[in-house]
Homo-oligomer: A and B are copies of this chain.
């Protein structure tokens, strides 16, 4: 067999996982692997940035999982940083690579993995480019924010947006001792939760000293001398010495689209369950690619490292001639917001209605540990249930230590299309340090079937 070449565009989670999985199956004598990335890091943990800013992680370097030298030594994979792929030519089977310094060149491929992630949403607001306004996406954003805070010693921070990263950034700024404000257009933070559960998150933020400006549209930024002074909102200005933007991301698809690769209804690159795109020999995965949602039965664009790793694994195995399928997602996510653990899976009540179900929500309050065991705390569990069938469609949890990871039980139950009647009888672990006799998730299930006793 002639030696083949895999080219990977984007050297982060999906791309490098594809590369390492392909390598596991085929040695370098059969398959050379080259990965190109516009940036200066390979395989880094963007989700760790808020913890670096807040001081929980002391060195930005710790967020880099693996360096190019390691890929070369351990897996004979060549990673080329500061190399932008500017064009894909499927007919030629080649990509055009532009190094940050030097001449562009064409690199041929037998298999191509497009894993170029998602881009932060940056609406065209006046003042967006002022000094002191930062995205929270690349590792360099983390070091830039921390340097700015160290150098300018701002008194007030404003976070724009109400998603996971925004809340984590609000916590980070508050931990640094800044007066922290959060401005969000929606009437609630975390729109991936039902409003009643999101309200618990708002309370947790306020208890931690974060001031919330909800239902408030940002109109721009007041800038003096090139430097941000306030976030301008429809309700008036909010003074700011530093601003973090967490307005979400959208799949980065321009390169693929220009090459004629099909884009799906969610806005991500369309892929089948083997991570094949519409164009032969081109695979995709990670934040730029769609995922199949097993409950709504729709493709979705969810940017999350767990999916990127799994899709990358599947792509790599298939590229190397193996056979693996990605079975989809159920929308599980978790975060820590100040003293609260927050997690969700499946469909919210609104999502479920939109998907044609007839959902009811059931909320149960319980404790994370046996009542007599020290250190327990409140936990609120909401289950979203299809009323006619009793099928579990989703769940949301907000509570103290030990709360968030319980969402995994709900996630596996949703995955297996269990009803709440089945859920309530699950044989979950019990010991006083970890749980009451009825686990909080089962308490909610019992309530859903109407037999709390």
Contact = CB atoms under 8 A, between A and B. Distances in A.
Interface string A284-310: 000000000000000000001111011
B427 A416 contact: no
A316 interface: yes
B45 A453 contact: no
Contacts of A435: 334, 405
B429 A331 contact: no
A255 interface: no
A452 B362 CA distance: 39
A153 interface: no
A328 B326 CA distance: 31
A404 interface: yes
A316 B405 contact: no
B429 A332 contact: yes
A380 interface: no
A427 B332 contact: yes
Contact of A409 (B307, B372, B408): B408
A335 interface: yes
Report the copy number of this chain in the oligomer: 2
Contacts of A100: none
A30 to B, nearest CB: 17
A110 to B, nearest CB: 20
B372 A57 contact: yes
A412 interface: yes
Given A309-B438, A345-B427, A431-B47, A405 B407 contact: no
Given A408-B408, A411-B426, A426-B411, A372 B51 contact: yes
Interface in A41-59: 45, 47-48, 51, 56-57
A17 B402 CA distance: 26
A45 B404 contact: no
A375 to B, nearest CB: 9
B21 A453 contact: yes
B422 A327 contact: yes
A188 interface: no
Nearest to A450: B24
B429 A404 contact: yes
Nearest to A75: B453
Given A20-B453, A371-B62, A51 B432 contact: yes
Contacts of A326: 425
A194 B345 CA distance: 33
A327 B408 contact: no
A240 to B, nearest CB: 26
A374 B52 CA distance: 11
Contacts of A313: 446, 451, 453
Contact of A431 (B336, B370, B451): B336
A143 to B, nearest CB: 15
A451 B418 CA distance: 29
A149 B426 CA distance: 40
Contacts of A453: 17, 20-21, 23-24, 313, 316
B431 A415 contact: no
A48 B372 contact: yes
A331 B429 CA distance: 9
B427 A407 contact: no
A410 to B, nearest CB: 9
5 contacts: A48-B373, A334-B429, A343-B429, A409-B409, A412-B426
